[in-house]
Amino acid sequence: MAILKGLIKQIPILGDLARRLRGGVEPPAPFRDSASYWETRYASGGNSGVGSYSKFAHFKAGVLNQFVQDHQIATVIEFGCGDGNQLTLACYPEYTGYDVSATAVAMCRKRFATDLAKAFHTVGDYAGETAELAISLDVLFHLVEDSIFEDYMRRLFDASRRYVIVYSSDTDDNHGYEGTHVRHRKFTRWVGDNLSHWKLIEHIPNRYPYHGDYTQGSFADFFIYEYGLASKLFSTTATGILAVNQNKAAPIKPIK
């Protein structure tokens, strides 16, 4: 009998079923809200998900590290640092990460305890800090509530003085995701409607696009925004006529 029990435990499906029948494992709790979902996930031993590991993490790190190098970015701020695994591949001179989960923040502080160039805080402790580049990776489609999404978007763009990089899906098609911790949004339209001083300067498709298996492909792409006055800058001439100056570089956002 002991041998039979051992064999059952080694078979994932049967082992899980046996534990449930004994009442040893409760079924997953229904989704309530974004914040509690992620805190519960990390507190119960979960991680940031497949998007922060393996080939996906390396793809994201390659794009981000190249951008930081090419644009001589000195400071980076991230909203949704998660368990910090993605950050292990990053090359940022100075980094501050925020997360809604206190457990995730504690994990990051422990993981990078000897790295003085990195700091971590809960979103509730955010006090208007800014950086040259603000990033959001695999976060937007997990912001199910409208008010949470809008607050997050405004905080993300307000925190940047030059660039914002979003890695997310960009669609309103949520068929099959109803009632889960995923809600896709056409966020580029929201930015265009609400943050006119930000211009989308580049869209980088995913190297591993989604084709039905989330462990092999992702529905997220890179979207890079730059701070400026819409898509063109205007200056007033001596005659009072507005002339377009398309060659002038976009201004750096004033520090608050």
Domain boundaries, the chain: 1-30, 34-245
- Cα torsion for 140, 107, 130, 163, to the nearest 10°? -50
Decide which of 148 and 238 is more confident: 148
Q: What is the pTM of this model?
A: 0.76
pLDDT exceeds 50 at position 235: no
pLDDT exceeds 90 at position 201: yes
Q: What is the pLDDT of residue 44?
A: 84
* Cβ-contact 96, 125 below 8 angstroms: no
SS3 148: helix
Tell how strand 76-79 and strand 95-99 pair up: parallel
The pLDDT mean for the chain works out to 80
Write out pLDDT tens, residues 44-80: 887 777 878 889 999 999 999 999 999 999 999 999 9
Q: What is the mean pLDDT of residues 171-194?
A: 83
What's the rounded Cα separation, in Å, for the pair 1 and 17? 18
34-245 CATH fold: Rossmann fold (3.40.50)
pLDDT exceeds 60 at position 212: yes
Tell how strand 131-137 and strand 198-204 pair up: unpaired
pLDDT exceeds 60 at position 8: no
Q: What is the pLDDT of residue 178?
A: 55
